[in-house]
Amino acid sequence: MASNRAVAYKGPNEVEVIDIPYPEFELKDGPGVNPANVGRQVRHGAILRTVTTNICGSDQHMVRGRTTAPVDLVLGHEITGEVIEVGPDVEFIKVGDIVSVPFNIACGRCRNCKAGKTGICLNVNPDRPGSAYGYVDMGGWVGGQAEYVLVPYADWNLLKFPDRDQALEKILDLTMLSDIFPTGFHGAYTAGVGPGSTVYIAGAGPVGLAAAVSAQLLGAACVIVGDLNEDRLAQARSFGCETVDVSKGDPGEQIEQILGVPEVECGVDAVGFEARGHGSDAGHEAPATVLNSLMTVTEAGGALGIPGLYVTGDPGGVDEAAKVGSLSIRLGLGWAKSLSFTTGQCPVMKYNRQLMQAILFDKVKIADAVQATPITLDEAPKGYADFDAGAPKKYVLNPNGYVK
């Protein structure tokens, strides 16, 4: 039996590479595994040798101690891999295929999956609709920041790349298909971005930058990205975005300097529940700031795409309400302006094949936009620390040496 090494959460601001069991076609008990899922047979699954697996801002929420994640939870929901074994019920996926794994775990059989709502599958998480690898309260499916990982419902979940050599050549772009590229695209798409749109994206982390690239791909006339981190804002400018520094105040005035009016047609929240205030409050956490700001700067009749993560349990919340995900949202303002809102996990399968085609036919360079930076599995703890310190990079773990 092969060994298996993985990145695990060890406590607030601490991750470590540990030894874990090699995957089997059965969900075993372990940190974070829902008791109702223990012993679940995965005859429909595939075991992958990990090609790439990325550090995500959503992982950082857990690593900071801002969720109820247990110690030794194996992290990682952004997975690309090579199929090395398939279960007896797998019909179409073959050993040797290079595949992208949507971070949503979906059965393909429930009414939500059949409607394309793969982010809220009804059959993979006993506690609530929706699941993901290596994430707290998501059913306990083992994370993919590891040398090997089990993927259930392989025929349904896996996106096979058409050519192995081409896939490995473009792997730093294709690795973004598991989460941040579809998630950013979902934020822009649900905000109503189209040809000639003006767009404000709150947050210049990897998802915000992916949303900016997506807005450009959708034909936006002007994409404005806001953040507190000048290095990340510079990265947004590197591929043609306008930027606003929200440490200098609410973005409305700066947007007006760019557009001539203080409002945009489309707004995207790529920050989530650890948002900080603007202007003089920039040093303090204020979790409703981004949503309220977006409602202010999005014109009447516009829409907000909200891929930024909000949680139902936050031990580090600024007050008792925030600790259960209850925020002081100016819903009256949103109602008065007839704004539309789209929240929740991105249904990755709705977009990933089309975005793969855009990558393979050189219509987009998502790896350049987010500064994809390969590191080894052993460098993961430093990668987490650097990312948390605001490095304008997307760290891509390379546990088996596929990335040259």
Say whether both 165 and 187 belong to one domain. Answer: no
Whether 130 and 247 share a structural domain: no
Residue 329, domain CATH: 3.40.50.720
Pairing of β 264-269 and β 159-160 = unpaired
Residue 224 lies in a domain: yes
Q: Please state the domain count of the chain.
A: 2
Q: Are residues 255 and 292 in the same domain?
A: yes
Q: Do 175 and 194 belong to one domain?
A: no
Full DSSP string of 292-307? HHHHHHEEEEEEEE--
Q: Are residues 26 and 172 in the same domain?
A: yes
Contacts within 8 Å (CB) and 24+ apart, 120-123? 120/344, 120/345
The verdict on 105 and 253 lying in the same domain is no
CB 376 within 8 A of CB 397: yes
The answer, yes or no, to whether residue 86 has pLDDT greater than 70, is yes
Q: What's the DSSP call for residue 74?
A: B
- pLDDT of 96 > 80? The answer is yes
**Does residue 283 have a pLDDT over 80?**
no
165 plus 197 within the same structural domain: no
Q: What is the pTM of this model?
A: 0.96
For 203, the domain range is 182-342
148 and 215 inside one domain: no
Average pLDDT over residues 114-118: 97
Asked if 357 and 333 sit in the same domain, the reply is no
Quote the pLDDT of residue 277. 87
Residue 19: its pLDDT value, please?
A: 97
**pLDDT surpassing 60 at residue 1:** no
| Domain-located, residue 238 | yes
Give residue-wise pLDDT tens across range 219-271: 999 999 999 999 999 999 999 999 999 999 889 999 999 999 999 999 999 99
